[in-house]
Structure 1
């Protein structure tokens, strides 16, 4: 997926799922094994001690694993075909996956390290343009195997995606209502009331974080920044919540804010009215659960989206709410696949407690008012949460089984 131009839409990133596959390794014992190594070109004639050379071509999938033994083993997966392929190490009966490598190019080798234990294993080779092929089964009689997970299909993700999309529709109703309230305050010249109305409207939009990709170009008109715009904050294309935020907290008169406020109401109303005809990609729902807070760490905790209101921590709290909404729809799939789900819930609660501590007397502490210890605490709790959510993205990444 290409990165958006930051000047024409909100500063949310779209990161390939493979990134999260790598991150998941940090969560020891909570996720299946994945490849960390890059491509190595050329046929592997042999492997260093302790490593096993396995062919992943369609005609010889899984060949080369002749001495299955328990313990931590590293496989050199060599693609001798003329096309790219994914490879899973699975239980051929249950299809529970214990290791995976994506995008092994033709003529290249990738490594996969897995903890093997009692059970049956087989490599499944999934070429880009052909049917999946399952190699010969091998049986190991002793030892403790590493964690695995049953694959999730796009069909599995349709019900939670539809449920989430319905929730977003209700959230957009609230965004319109609150944005109209903001516009009304600006229209009557009551800028104090407008500043009070701005934050609730903006936070309600931020809670819908997993839907932004489906919002398309409308997101730029609603939540765009000045990044990449030639005129910066004074550019004619700077629009939406942050454009109004800049004016409200930098002494701009109401006359200059009426047109941006009207444009914002028009944008959110159009988004709401067209939402029933929009279709979110079910395959992206798990990825979005991770991305919401990944972007929070990158943009809110660094202050890159502060245009004067000092509300980054409030936005982070709204993003946390948005993450919970996605996870609540994915919970039925995660309960039987993700052993770390209870710990994830604890970290969500800890992050909420930490952020709520900066909401005092009806106002939010700005980033520049945090002590060094407070800043470190916020960065640590949200950073840890982002790493744990990487497993959700990996587990909910649909895998081909045929």
Structure 2
């Protein structure tokens, strides 16, 4: 069971599957309506339409698991949803209803969608726009565009890791550090494709976390292993095989990526997760193995988030009113990172560090609804 949240605008429904709410304060006179769901019928049992916050108890009387949406029957716009409603179980749908027409749309497994009877709510507030569902067909164009951009990024990455390898073999530590940063930031900009990279992501960009030998463990490879060696004065000849492996892995990833596929769920999800990981790992210095480049990585992650938003923008613009605010916070965060300079986060003054944490935290909050809005849904 997975909860999904949709926040659209002031007065809109905020939906969480699996959150049990016994009653709303001040509304004890109204019992939670029990709505029946099955393969043959949908939404029966709602006999007291009223505005305001309420909880529907969705009871699956059928024999298969179903997804249930509360929609405008004329447009299909969603105002509430519960997914993974197992046969014979009851789950709550918590919603806030305003004026307008509603109906339950049921999507049982291996069965066409069923839309139940229309119910009209009056006497309340003006209804928010709701969220129009995004289908897998809607995502085909954005996915193709992002996959093309990722392939272009991997083509460039292979050249950059080759330059890093050559610099390490030459014994020029300063040149190798410069080449390392260029290649590493290029990889970090490919933020939404990591799942499609499979095991290569671990070998190319893994950390020493959980390894018995820590940074000395043989399983510690990739960018951070090279970083640790370059900035901790490891013998360049000893570091050369590590750079060789990194370059070989980058080239293999480039050559095999065309056979991979980015999951449609990942685009919207990664828009939020890239910055969430930035807050957890970069702005704490957790992934700094000596280069002090986590602020530069933060900017690369902003680029990665922007790349996701760019391909999703045609879908998000009519569905997410806060998208212009997201754009403003990306600009603000990038500006504050630039002002902070190229220093390790541990060397930032407390006020600057607090401002950057606040920037990225707010950005994470604004990006969070995109995962639910852009998740592909069945509508038939």
Pair 1:260 & 2:238 matched: no
In structure 2, the residue matched to 1:184 is 166
Deviates more, 1:252-261 or 1:277-286: 277-286
* Structure 1 residues 288 and 32, CA gap change in structure 2 (3 angstroms): farther
Measure the CA separation in 2 of the matches of 1:79 and 1:39: 16
Paired residues in the alignment total 373
Superposed CA offset, 1:203-238 (max 9, x none): 000000111111111112211111222221111121
1:153 corresponds to: 135
Query: Which residue of 51, 54, 57 maps to 1:70?
Result: 51
Give the equivalent residue in structure 2 for 1:11: none
Q: CA deviation at 1:354?
A: 1.6
- Counterpart in the other structure of 2:29: 49
Give 1:29 deviation, angstroms: 3.0
Q: Deviations over 1:163-212 (max 9, x none)?
A: 11111111112212222221111111111221122111100000001111
Greater relative CO, 1 or 2 (CA 8 Å, sep 6+):
1
1:307-326 per-position Cα deviation (integer Å, ceiling 9, x unaligned): 11111121111011001001
Q: Is the 8 A contact 1:289 1:389 kept in 2?
A: yes
Relative to structure 1, the CA distance from residue 30 to residue 70 in structure 2 (aligned partners, 3 Å threshold; closer, same or farther) is closer
CA distance in 2: counterparts of 1:78 and 1:370, whole angstroms? 54
Q: State the TM-score, normalized to the length of structure 1.
A: 0.87
Q: Distance in 2 between matches of 1:118 and 1:209?
A: 41
Question: What pairs up with 1:42-191 in 2 under 5 angstroms?
Answer: 49-50=29-30, 51-143=32-124, 144-191=126-173
Task: Give the aligned partner of residue 382 of structure 1.
Answer: 360
Q: What residue is the counterpart of 2:369 in the other structure?
A: 391
Which of 338, 345, 369 is 2:327 aligned to?
A: 345
Question: Within 2, Cα distance between the matches of 1:95 and 1:328?
Answer: 25
Question: How big is each residue's C-alpha offset from its partner over 1:347-382, in whole Å with a ceiling of 9 and x where there is no partner?
Answer: 1111111212222xxxx1211112222222111111
Q: Distance in 1 between matches of 2:360 and 2:378?
A: 32
Please state whether the residue corresponding to 2:168 is helix, strand or coil.
helix
Q: Is the 8 A contact 1:169 1:275 kept in 2?
A: yes
**1: CA distance, partners of 2:12 / 2:337:** 28
What RMSD over aligned residues (CA atoms) do the two structures have, in Å? 2.1
Q: Point out where structure 1 has 5 or more consecutive residues left out of the alignment.
A: 1-15, 41-46
Between the aligned partners of 1:380 and 1:110, the Cα distance in structure 2 is 36
Q: 2:12 touches 2:127 (CA, 8 Å); kept in 1?
A: no
Cα distance per residue 1:83-129 (max 9 Å; x no partner): 33221100111101111112223333332232322321101122234
User: What's the secondary structure of 2:44's corresponding residue?
Assistant: coil
Which deviates more from structure 2 when the two are superposed, residues 142-151 or residues 256-265? 142-151
The alpha carbon displacement at 1:145 in A equals: 1.8
- Map residues 192-203 of structure 1 onto 2, 5 A cutoff: 192-203=174-185
Contiguous gaps of at least 5 residues in structure 2? 22-26
**Is the Cα–Cα contact under 8 Å of residues 9 and 321 in structure 2 kept in the other structure?**
no
Q: Does the 8 A contact of 2:77 with 2:132 survive in 1?
A: yes
Runs of at least 4 residues off by over 4 Å: none
TM-score by length of structure 2 reads 0.92
Classify 1:310/1:251 alpha carbon distance in 2 versus 1 (closer, same or farther; 3 Å). same
Say which SS state the counterpart of residue 365 (structure 1) adopts.
coil
The answer as to whether partners of 2:264 and 2:376 remain within 8 angstroms in 1 is no
